[in-house]
Chain A
Amino acid sequence: MEFEPKIVSFLCNWCSYTGADLAGTSRMKYASNIRVIRVMCSGRVDPTFVLKSFREGADGVLICGCHPGDCHYHEGNYKCLRRYHFLKKYMAQMGINPDRLKLAWISASEGKEFAHLADEMAETIKSLGPCKVKDEMEIFD
């Protein structure tokens, strides 16, 4: 059976969730591997959410927020940006391929861009293969 990645996706309410919604209402086709969780702001995404996602079996994590300067709460997306870079550094140290985590800016009108992003992410994760975090954490030999 072909590997179908599970990609947990945190989308901010104001821009990126709306953009993803637009993709849906415009009937754009895109990879169904994306499982959406709406948050009020990308700045709400605690690194714990990302780590827990991998621990619970996600193969990839996608975070989307408003473009720089457009954040509904002014600073939230910048905070997310900094945490994101940190998470990638940490993941690399722990042997988790940093490409499994992606941050992108999607505005409310960027339905097409979101669909494209989802397809691209699914391809990337497919080529990386299943993420071994959940299985290996469970091995207590």
Chain B
Amino acid sequence: MSQKPKIKLAIYWGAACGGCCVSVLDVHEKLFDVVAAADLVFWPIALDFKYKDVEAMADDYIDVTLYNGAVRNSENEHIAKLLRKKTKILVAYGSCAHMGGIPGLGNFSDRKGIFDRAYQTSESTVNEEKIRPQTETEMAEGTLTLPEFYNDVKTLDQVVDVDYYLPGCPPQTERLVEVFMAIVTGAELPPKGSVVGALEKTLCDECEREKTDEKVIKEFKRPWEIEDDGKTCFLEQGVICMGPATRGGCGARCIKGNAPCRGCYGPSSAATDPGAKMMSAIATMIDSDDPEEIESILDQVVDPAGTFYRFSLPGSIIRKTIG
């Protein structure tokens, strides 16, 4: 009896934290099932295949690549392009690849701003010669190279053609397993460019907190300004929660920890700019028609750009600050 061939799977990270790789490991004991169905051919965090091994592969050799992490530098982009060439199905895995993620907050600044802070003005750093990392350094022994740090952060689909998006910071492991099993069992896949492993409905649908139809706010509060009762909708308690602008699928894990959602699963296909959506949603909630009162209530919403676009700045309409 012939056995179904294993799918060839690659997992790679751009500007990442490792959390998406952890999410793969969090299949725990089911790992043996994964390994039975897939051959891992490239995964720097865990395996020792090098870039040369990927370069030596034939085009489309890899069945599925999960690329996590944002595109912050030339190495991230170069490997994204290399993997695109060698891969049949390229998945933007996790918030960073999907929309820019937390590294995307770098788009509130630029290369000079980040370098000056990290290498010069950092209070514990002593750098009188104003040294900055260089893409090439001539040492006595030879040349040392580093990738180029781009001026802004890009999403994966801003540098290569992406087949699917699997959102989350990191994606909830059960969703990964569902998508993986669909691929392995040869189920019909959704149209190219779809978001998979997440609901079409927003988090509010999954969230178990009690909600009423009366969402009217006279005052917004910082999370530590309220005595959270553990069961009422955050927005109704005056605390900003990104639920209305965010896809469900994560199991409301932050809500279960009594923290409001910060939007890591990204927007649904109906409202693709999460900040615009939240501005609308919150505007509806404000219990005032007086311009001055409206302004003073809105002043209580601190850092709107950083809150609404926490995970999605590079993938949004206004994807970075204007110089």
Residues of A within 8 A of B (CB): 46-48, 51-52, 54-55, 68, 78-79, 81-83, 85-87, 89-90, 93-96, 132-133, 136-137, 139-141
Contact = CB atoms under 8 A, between A and B. Distances in A.
B291 A89 contact: no
Contact of B286 (A82, A96, A132): A82
B322 A94 contact: yes
A95 B304 contact: no
Contact of B150 (A81, A133, A136, A141): A141
Given A82-B283, A136-B323, A48 B318 contact: no
22 contacts: A47-B276, A48-B273, A51-B317, A78-B289, A81-B294, A82-B282, A82-B283, A82-B298, A83-B279, A83-B283, A86-B298, A90-B275, A90-B304, A90-B305, A90-B308, A93-B305, A94-B322, A96-B318, A133-B322, A136-B323, A137-B318, A137-B319
A82 B301 CA distance: 13
B298 A89 contact: yes
Contacts of B120: none
Contacts of A82: 282-284, 286, 288, 294, 298
A105 B56 CA distance: 65
Contacts of B154: 140
B323 A132 contact: yes
Closest 3 pairs between A and B when the two form their complex, measured CB to CB: A82-B283, A95-B322, A47-B276
Interface in B154-213: 154, 158
Interface in B253-277: 271, 273, 275-277
Interface in B291-307: 291, 294-295, 298, 301, 303-306
A48 to B, nearest CB: 4
Interface residues of B, number: 35
Nearest to B111: A141
Given A48-B273, A140-B154, A141-B151, A54 B304 contact: no
A95 B321 contact: yes
Given A51-B273, A81-B294, A87 B318 contact: no
Contacts of B320: 136-137
A87 B305 CA distance: 10
Nearest to B107: A94
B150 to A, nearest CB: 7
A89 B283 CA distance: 13
Contacts of A141: 150-152
A139 B322 CA distance: 11
B127 interface: no
Contacts of B317: 48, 51-52, 55
A133 B317 CA distance: 10
Contacts of A133: 318, 322
Contacts of A47: 273, 275-276, 279-280
Contacts of B283: 79, 82-83, 86
Nearest to A45: B280
